[in-house]
Amino acid sequence: MEGYQVPDIKLFNKWSFDEISISDMSLEDYISVKGKHATFLPHTAGRYQKKRFRKAACPLVERLTVSLMRRGRNAGKKLLAARVVRSTLEIIHLLTDENPIQVLVNAVINAGPREDSTRVGSAGVVRRQAVDLSPFRRVNQALYLLTTGARESAFRNIKTISECLADEIINAARGSSNSYAIKKKDEIERVAKANR
């Protein structure tokens, strides 16, 4: 045991968590990629739904994996989702030559809407009122929009879900409006601005 070194934790034994930087200060606590949140696989079997806000401690790549398991037929297939995420990260690396975890972090920062509108109403009169979104909800919304966009573009298409998800994440990280998530975010913020 003398000469044993703790290995660097790399996602899928490939992608390092060391140089990941989170450019948005407000989201640092809710995007879990550093320190104890670094994992080899996006499958920790943690009990993240037992308590409110516990899922903020769930590693970001695992949260992406979990949000892929939607639409009844994919429910519970976490190993399938993990395989999709693995090939997605490979494709992102091939297309951008960057650390795919960093690209994912940038996409989440760009894709979360900062303002939304809620329904305020009493006695049948319902009007929308603009509200600021908490950083936690921004991360949740971003992951939801990214996976929904990938799922819609992969449906009835030759491209696989991995390719669609990779395209979606790269476009979102660049802030390009080809991304479903960025389009939705702009739309949500535009509606909120009209309802201020």
For the chain, 196 residues long, give each residue's pLDDT as a single digit of tens: 566 666 778 877 788 888 888 888 888 888 888 878 888 888 888 898 899 888 888 888 899 899 999 888 888 899 999 999 999 999 999 998 888 889 999 999 999 899 888 888 776 778 888 889 899 999 999 999 999 999 899 989 899 999 999 999 999 998 888 889 999 999 999 999 998 8
CA-CA distance, 66 to 58, in Å (whole number)? Answer: 10
Host H or E run for residue 11: strand 10-11
Any residues with CB less than 8 A from the CB of 65 and at least 6 apart, and which?
A: 42, 43, 78, 81, 82, 84, 85
pTM for this model (two decimals):
0.89
What pLDDT was estimated at residue 87?
Answer: 92
DSSP string, 83-94: HHHHHHHHHHHH
Tell me which residue has tokens 């695992």.
62
Which residue, among 164, 169, 156, 112, has the nearest Cα to 135 in the 3D structure?
112
CA–CA distance, 41 with 60 (Å, rounded to integer): 11
Report CA-CA distances (Å) from 107 to 127, 134, 151: 32, 17, 16
Predicted pLDDT of residue 145:
92
Which pLDDT value is given to residue 1? 57
